[in-house]
Amino acid sequence: MSGRPERLWPLFAEIQSLDGIGPKTAQALAQTGIEAIRDLLFTLPYSGIDRRPRDTIRGADLPATLTVPVVVGQHRPPRKRGGAYRIEVDDAAMRFQIVYFHARPEYLMRLLPPGSRRLVSGRVELFDNVPQMTHPDHVLDSADAGSMPEFEPVYPLTAGVTQKIMTKAVAHALAKAPDLAEWIDPALVAKEGWPGWRDALSAAHAPDHTGNLAPTDVNRARLAYDELLAHQLTLALARRARRTRPGKITQGDGRLRTIVRGALEFSPTGAQLRALDEITADMACPERMNRLLQGDVGSGKTLVALLALLNAVEAGGQGVMMAPTEILARQHYDGLAPMAQTAGVALELLTGRDKGAERVRKLAALTAGEIDILVGTHAVFQDDVVFADLRLAIVDEQHRFGVRQRMELGRKGEGADVLVMTATPIPRSLALAQYGDMDVSVLDEKPPGRQPVQTALISEERMTEVVDHLRRAILEGRQAYWVCPLVEESETSDLAAAEARYAHLRAALGEDAVGLVHGQMPPADKDAAMARFNAGKTALLVATTVIEVGVNVPNASIMVIERAEAFGLAQLHQLRGRVGRGTAASTCVLLYRPPLGEAGMRRLTTLRETEDGFRIAEVDLEMRGAGDVIGVAQSGVPRFRIADLERQAGLMATAQSDARRLLEFDPELKTERGRAARTLLWLMRQDEAIRLISVG
């Protein structure tokens, strides 16, 4: 691996090598992720203080931070130890006081000698109707007055680091920033009017006015673009690395798919057919497919998955489908089993529960090619699971899976095509950040005949009415879920709450009518509870959020979510998606504990107003910010220091196409611009990308 370019060395020096940064400050900065000089440079001011001098503080709207020339008057030391040291000053129109606590009088005499002229700047407040400036930020004599910027940047701070230290450190750091060759497409630079990297950086640290702090400022936009481009280059490199490894050509003859489609009671939606066309086209190509199938809850991803798997089987190969939980794996298995039987396809289930001889038998059958389609949990990707001829790997509901894990999965089946299915609609900017290395199919059409889910917000003070309503519904033969709250971090208290609610509802609705399922139940009990509900033997299923993703019981038409205000928007949307799957009209009751806070109110009313997963996702992004929405830690999406995914979605899209184009044109990053792009990857600490270039 070639090393980090020499020009960047100064930027990767420890922060402590800067003048004025001692070990204590360095340690404090490290707490906020600032370790190298580059980290400091990419920490931009978030606000600024107007330090333009005025003649007098008279007429200012107090309290305010003001800058004013004064003539220093009398010093009035405190009468008691620890009291206020007051210095009277006159500006052009009035007298006020500068106040210090715990300052040495000799120092103050030197700083503000009586009779001298000074430019002072600081926060002025009224105390007993007398304006005073306590501990001015700046006291300058006339000779130095020019050294104060008219608009002073304000940096995010951490304990032990002051604005003064930050400002000085940044100035020293900027002096070390080298000129770097341009890595952005020159046409884009020209179109946007972006300055070069170093100029943009200097300017971003020296804002003139508030407008310079906005993401739309040219300097900031350019620096944000650098971050996004580096990320998209990494994804594009990963994509290329996968595509250049040979895949298999999988082209079924359609015989199994015809049988299955003939046996369906419905015809696929246009969106399902489009997605299938995209998938089968990818599978027929020698490159490996790496595709995301995005579809809101209930959009019918399972059918698309099944038909894609059958394509693999028709071509003489195998397919695997992985679900995140036991319940879902089993449900997929149960759902696919009749279809598989109709088509004469060997389907098997493998989960962590398979042990001993049973597991050995399944693995042997898999290796011998006697199993066509394997469904399971993470267990299907263990080292000793060996396929005879794996063609297609499908990962369901893996929105919790990140770029890195997908890369691992790709390594599993030699040349197998990969399809990731997610039921979490995500705004375009986030999709690009998280799945920019993939191609995307969207199921943007729901199967016909769905009735909208009526959503109601009801205070838990009216719980008795809700239970009465449930009783009547159950008598009519309807089924319902009751989701118990996430009380605290601890799972045991969740469980206690669920069990208490279970006991309460059994007492109210009859012992036989109510079932319980939660994450800590023995797996066999969980299955049994789900099976009873599925078969309609229990009418009400009390559950913790284990039912959140994918569970499909079409007859269930009521969803009660207790303490709904404690759940996130995406989760509520997923939970509600469990109903409205059949033809009966469905209801979702969001039980909340009053008083409802502002954020809780916004979430619940959003949910009441729309069932559109993409709309809900946009609100979620707006309310929580990108980092929280994708769960940065595991997603492989870096925490951008400058780029703002909510407000710079357009830049992300541009970065993706720019990165892909650059690699098409210069796959080895060897041209002048390619080499500059390598520097960018080093600068942005894109280690994964650098590894990919050096192996490629």
Residue 581 contacts which entry, Mg ion, ligand ADP, none (Cβ below 5-8 A, type-dependent): ligand ADP
Q: Give yes or no for a contact between 324 and 377, defined as CB atoms under 8 angstroms apart.
A: yes
Containing H/E element for 294? Answer: strand 290-295
In the complex, least distance from residue 557 CB atom to ligand ADP, rounded to whole angstroms: 13
In the complex, least distance from residue 477 CB atom to ligand ADP, rounded to whole angstroms: 19
Q: Find how far residue 536's CA is from the centre of its chain.
A: 38
Cα angle for residues 685, 688, 692 (degrees, 5° grid): 125
Residue 300 contacts which entry, ligand ADP, Mg ion, none (Cβ below 5-8 A, type-dependent): ligand ADP
Partnered with residue 458 across adjacent β-strands are 591
* Residue 595 tokens, joined: 């008083």
Residue 485 contacts which entry, Mg ion, ligand ADP, none (Cβ below 5-8 A, type-dependent): none
Burial of 226 (0-12, 13-18, 19+ CB in 10 A): buried
Which DSSP letter does residue 129 get?
T
In the complex, least distance from residue 323 CB atom to Mg ion, rounded to whole angstroms: 9
Helices (H) and strands (E) in the chain, counts: 25, 21
Q: Which is nearer to Mg ion, 153 or 550 (CB)?
A: 550
Q: Which is nearer to Mg ion, 99 or 423 (CB)?
A: 423
Q: Which is nearer to ligand ADP, 423 or 438 (CB)?
A: 423
Q: How many CB atoms lie within 10 A of CB 74?
A: 9
Spatial separation of the C-alpha atoms in residues 182 and 684, rounded to whole Å: 15
Q: Which is nearer to Mg ion, 223 or 394 (CB)?
A: 394
In the complex, least distance from residue 302 CB atom to Mg ion, rounded to whole angstroms: 5
Residue 693 contacts which entry, Mg ion, ligand ADP, none (Cβ below 5-8 A, type-dependent): none
Residue 303 contacts which entry, Mg ion, ligand ADP, none (Cβ below 5-8 A, type-dependent): ligand ADP
- Write out the residues near ligand ADP by the rule CB under 6 A: 266, 268-269, 272, 295, 297-303, 423, 447, 550, 552, 554, 581
Q: Which is nearer to Mg ion, 485 or 577 (CB)?
A: 577
In the complex, least distance from residue 375 CB atom to ligand ADP, rounded to whole angstroms: 14
In the complex, least distance from residue 544 CB atom to ligand ADP, rounded to whole angstroms: 20
Provide Rg for the chain, Cα atoms: 32
Spatial separation of the C-alpha atoms in residues 337 and 236, rounded to whole Å: 38
Q: Which is nearer to Mg ion, 66 or 570 (CB)?
A: 570
Q: If you write DSSP's letter for every residue of 96-115 in order, what string do you get?
A: EEEEEES--HHHHHHHS-TT
In the complex, least distance from residue 394 CB atom to Mg ion, rounded to whole angstroms: 11
Q: Which is nearer to Mg ion, 423 or 513 (CB)?
A: 423
Containing H/E element for 89? Answer: strand 84-90
Q: Give yes or no for a contact between 89 and 72, defined as CB atoms under 8 angstroms apart.
A: yes
Q: Which is nearer to ligand ADP, 73 or 268 (CB)?
A: 268
In the complex, least distance from residue 547 CB atom to ligand ADP, rounded to whole angstroms: 13
* CA nearest neighbour of 36 among 161, 169, 182, 162: 169
Residue 576 contacts which entry, Mg ion, ligand ADP, none (Cβ below 5-8 A, type-dependent): none
SS3 category, 648: coil
Residue 447 contacts which entry, Mg ion, ligand ADP, none (Cβ below 5-8 A, type-dependent): ligand ADP
Residue 563, Ramachandran bin (φ over 0: left; ψ between -120 and 50: alpha; else beta): left
Q: Give yes or no for a contact between 679 and 8, defined as CB atoms under 8 angstroms apart.
A: yes
Spatial separation of the C-alpha atoms in residues 649 and 654, rounded to whole Å: 9
Spatial separation of the C-alpha atoms in residues 39 and 642, rounded to whole Å: 11
In the complex, least distance from residue 348 CB atom to ligand ADP, rounded to whole angstroms: 20
Q: Which is nearer to ligand ADP, 447 or 638 (CB)?
A: 447
Q: Which is nearer to ligand ADP, 392 or 407 (CB)?
A: 392
Q: Which is nearer to Mg ion, 324 or 550 (CB)?
A: 550
In the complex, least distance from residue 306 CB atom to ligand ADP, rounded to whole angstroms: 9
Residue 53 contacts which entry, ligand ADP, Mg ion, none (Cβ below 5-8 A, type-dependent): none
Spatial separation of the C-alpha atoms in residues 482 and 593, rounded to whole Å: 16
Helices (H), 516-612: 523-534, 569-576, 598-609
In the complex, least distance from residue 481 CB atom to Mg ion, rounded to whole angstroms: 16
Q: Which is nearer to ligand ADP, 301 or 518 (CB)?
A: 301
Which DSSP letter does residue 217 get?
S
In the complex, least distance from residue 336 CB atom to ligand ADP, rounded to whole angstroms: 11
Residue 498 contacts which entry, Mg ion, ligand ADP, none (Cβ below 5-8 A, type-dependent): none
- End-to-end Cα, the chain, rounded Å: 11
Residue 298 contacts which entry, Mg ion, ligand ADP, none (Cβ below 5-8 A, type-dependent): ligand ADP
Q: Which is nearer to ligand ADP, 269 or 654 (CB)?
A: 269
In the complex, least distance from residue 574 CB atom to ligand ADP, rounded to whole angstroms: 9
Residue 297 contacts which entry, ligand ADP, Mg ion, none (Cβ below 5-8 A, type-dependent): ligand ADP
Q: Which is nearer to ligand ADP, 300 or 413 (CB)?
A: 300
Sign of the Cα pseudo-torsion (666, 672, 678, 681, in order) = negative
Phi, psi angle pair for 391, to nearest 5°: -110, -35
Burial of 589 (0-12, 13-18, 19+ CB in 10 A): buried
**Cβ within 8 Å of residue 272, ≥6 positions away:** 300, 303, 304, 443, 445
SS3 of 47-61: the string is: EEEECCCCCCCCCCC
Residue 299 contacts which entry, Mg ion, ligand ADP, none (Cβ below 5-8 A, type-dependent): ligand ADP
Spatial separation of the C-alpha atoms in residues 27 and 35, rounded to whole Å: 8
Residue 678 contacts which entry, Mg ion, ligand ADP, none (Cβ below 5-8 A, type-dependent): none
- Write out the residues near Mg ion by the rule CB under 5 A: 550
Residue 195 contacts which entry, ligand ADP, Mg ion, none (Cβ below 5-8 A, type-dependent): none
Q: Give yes or no for a contact between 181 and 175, defined as CB atoms under 8 angstroms apart.
A: no
Residue 199, Ramachandran bin (φ over 0: left; ψ between -120 and 50: alpha; else beta): alpha
In the complex, least distance from residue 276 CB atom to Mg ion, rounded to whole angstroms: 16
In the complex, least distance from residue 260 CB atom to ligand ADP, rounded to whole angstroms: 12
SS3 category, 515: strand
Q: Which is nearer to ligand ADP, 356 or 449 (CB)?
A: 449
In the complex, least distance from residue 576 CB atom to ligand ADP, rounded to whole angstroms: 12
Q: Which is nearer to ligand ADP, 298 or 425 (CB)?
A: 298
Spatial separation of the C-alpha atoms in residues 579 and 482, rounded to whole Å: 12
Cα angle for residues 509, 327, 331 (degrees, 5° grid): 95
Residue 266 contacts which entry, ligand ADP, Mg ion, none (Cβ below 5-8 A, type-dependent): ligand ADP
Spatial separation of the C-alpha atoms in residues 651 and 224, rounded to whole Å: 8
Containing H/E element for 491? Answer: helix 491-509
Residue 673 contacts which entry, ligand ADP, Mg ion, none (Cβ below 5-8 A, type-dependent): none
